[in-house]
Chains A and B, each alone.
Chain A
């Protein structure tokens, strides 16, 4: 559990965060959503001590951040950034193994864990282990970035726009894979993004930031359908329709689908994903069900 309490932060006299109070629950995926300059990245970097608040406190697992040994704490927090930041002079294997070696784990155990995670992200060590970061595509590099952040079995993971630099197809693919792993491992995850669609597709809860203040904390549907103020409304407006589709899972609308118009289909994923699928035979029926579900909810 991560708790922000009355956090304030300014850079060069300019206030970038004020009055921040937020609790992130164990095993939840919290998205910090906001435009650039909203202070979301600063908030994220406070969790692993890359930034310090001017006032207020942060607690992790019921202990104040100041009471943790920062170096040990960082080893328990995975960190993934947009530019990945793989070590260019290390092979893929060594990149993933670095943190295990920092923790003085035994060599055969290191090997076993690295191999397990490289398999898990679909880049087996036999093929990719001895490659160097410059030989990888953007998507491959970010997968290795994820493996590196997860290999030491951290209790939480921080992600700063991790998928923004990827092409749309691998973005969705890697995002879904990450979400699956996060749920399997019951990881507490905090992810920063400016992309409403991404936020509503993946988040358990969203914390919407604007002008250095938290505007609303809630599920994707709460943010989309019950915006608490004009700022929130404005922020999601542009992507409203797509975001709504993305925030609703096929499971949720299952009961509204008439078996006649839409024969059996896989209920994995969101309404949006299905509609983006080129297999158009289900589209009309599913969209129908979505509107019925929404009406019912209202």
Chain B
């Protein structure tokens, strides 16, 4: 706990700034949602025919996962504060609309009738009778919306809109719990604070509510005028290239910092969520991102990989890794998987990923199609070895699923063995534990991952290794066998390392082919 306070004190400037950003995001979106929400609530109570349709629409918006909503807004509003406020506004809408409508509906019909029979106009009935009586409901809706907004606003960090989410996201990526708490605790306190203030307002008289809203909305209007909506939005200098990188990449030593050092250059950048990054690049919100070499979206969005000509990134060659014991028991496994050696290049792997991610094909169909195209699957009759069952595992992403299916198909094609699949492990650590416990026998792994994660190597030794994929492969092969009794089978051929990506047409326009070219600018 002490270290948390140390962290807080050390970073108090940043915490304070993120808190202010967070309050800005929440309040601005909430104020817009209050104005729009009450208006819509009134309209649907007047025009009852539209009630059902409108309520189910705002209901539906509420159920869209926040990341999906941000992704959906990206093509229209880009990244930064504006789309964040729009997303927050949409989430805050439902409780306010619904409560306004319910509040008006709940007004005692005899009260409404008295007002009408007294000669009040429709608008007088609304403003003198219905709205004041619906006020407790409306305030409750605003309270709910404010708490939702404080929570969802943490996700604004995904699209470079700032707020306390920055600490939370970075903390999660870097596995730094003090950092997570430095974002999460102020956010929860903020939610409690909003709830308490609005709770007090809710209980006070109509006069107090009126003054409170006048001051709040007046202040907001003045604030927006002074700051200027333009400045609130993330403004982009067109002549300069802008990077967009996930927090994990930004903060790890062998990520962005090392890249800048290795190529001796700097680039303005914003932090983004990985899933949104590719879309932001395609939509010209950013110009440079860090992705992975065989990602299907490289093909889908027509992106160009800048060559890592100084070999900064370690090689991530894919290969099957198996338990030594199982290979001894069924030596035919090694012989069959040998057939995949150097058979898949980067373009082919990207293509397979693309087919699953973008064309929505099943991984097993894509694997089968690939083998058939290579004439490696012809229902051969001479299956060697004995009958038995082995288990193949994989991590939880597309490429690993496809590779696991490739292994299964090849093994079943050439041996008497029967393969069970255990796919979707949450991380390398879990998979390795499963291997050690004989839960699985084979899984696809990358040399770079093994190098960094399995093997404690000093920086110098790493550097001498990194430039040479063969050396890395040999190193992890020997070390894995020594430490865990895991055997690395021959590499599949492609290298799924970190890739610095740009839009193809822009890279061509600027004549950029390597990362060095980028630093020359």
Chain A interfacial positions (CB closer than 8 Å to B):
48, 50, 71-75, 77, 79, 81, 83-89, 98-99, 102, 148, 158
The residues of A that contact B108 with a CB separation of less than 8 Å are 83, 85, 88
Q: How far is the CA of A77 from the CA of B124 in the complex (A)?
A: 18
State the Cβ distance, A133 to closest chain B Cβ, in Å.
9
Q: Establish whether residues B119 and A98, one from each chain, have CB atoms under 8 Å apart when the complex forms.
A: no
Q: How far is the CA of A89 from the CA of B124 in the complex (A)?
A: 15
Q: How large is the interface on B (under 10, 10 to 19, 20 to 34, 35 or more residues)?
A: 10 to 19
Indicate whether B120 reaches chain A with its CB closer than 8 angstroms. Answer: yes
In the complex, residue of chain B having the shortest beta-carbon distance to the beta carbon of A69: B119
In the complex with contacts A87-B129, A88-B133, A89-B132, A81-B113 CB distance below 8 A: yes
In the complex, residue of chain A having the shortest beta-carbon distance to the beta carbon of B132: A89
The residues of A that contact B113 with a CB separation of less than 8 Å are 50, 81, 85
Q: Is the interface of A mostly helix, strand, loop or mixed?
A: mixed
The residues of B that contact A48 with a CB separation of less than 8 Å are 117
CB interface residues, B 490-511, toward A, < 8 Å = none
Q: How far is the CA of A77 from the CA of B119 in the complex (A)?
A: 9
Q: Establish whether residues A86 and B118, one from each chain, have CB atoms under 8 Å apart when the complex forms.
A: no
Q: Establish whether residues B133 and A89, one from each chain, have CB atoms under 8 Å apart when the complex forms.
A: yes
State the Cβ distance, A156 to closest chain B Cβ, in Å.
12
Q: Establish whether residues A86 and B117, one from each chain, have CB atoms under 8 Å apart when the complex forms.
A: no
Chain B interfacial positions (CB closer than 8 Å to A):
108, 110-121, 124, 128-129, 132-133, 206
In the complex with contacts A88-B133, A89-B132, A89-B206, A83-B110 CB distance below 8 A: yes
State the Cβ distance, A57 to closest chain B Cβ, in Å.
21
In the complex with contacts A71-B121, A102-B120, A102-B124, A87-B115 CB distance below 8 A: yes
Q: Establish whether residues B118 and A74, one from each chain, have CB atoms under 8 Å apart when the complex forms.
A: yes
Q: How far is the CA of A163 from the CA of B132 in the complex (A)?
A: 29
**Among B111, B112, B114, B206, which residue has its beta carbon within 8 angstroms of that of A79?**
B114
Apart from the given pairs A74-B119, A89-B206, 8 other A-B contacts in the complex at a CB distance below 8 Å: A73-B119, A74-B118, A81-B114, A85-B113, A85-B115, A86-B114, A89-B133, A102-B118
Q: Establish whether residues A102 and B119, one from each chain, have CB atoms under 8 Å apart when the complex forms.
A: yes
Q: Establish whether residues A85 and B133, one from each chain, have CB atoms under 8 Å apart when the complex forms.
A: no
Q: How far is the CA of A50 from the CA of B118 in the complex (A)?
A: 11
The residues of A that contact B120 with a CB separation of less than 8 Å are 71, 102
Q: How far is the CA of A157 from the CA of B129 in the complex (A)?
A: 22
In the complex with contacts A87-B129, A88-B133, A89-B206, A72-B110 CB distance below 8 A: no
State the Cβ distance, A180 to closest chain B Cβ, in Å.
24
Q: How far is the CA of A83 from the CA of B206 in the complex (A)?
A: 25
The residues of B that contact A148 with a CB separation of less than 8 Å are 114, 118
In the complex with contacts A87-B111, A88-B111, A89-B206, A79-B133 CB distance below 8 A: no
14 A-B pairs (CB sep. < 8 Å): A74-B116, A74-B119, A79-B114, A79-B117, A84-B110, A85-B111, A85-B112, A85-B115, A86-B111, A87-B114, A88-B133, A102-B124, A148-B114, A148-B118
In the complex, residue of chain A having the shortest beta-carbon distance to the beta carbon of B206: A89
Most chain A beta carbons < 10 A, residue from B124, B128, B206: B128
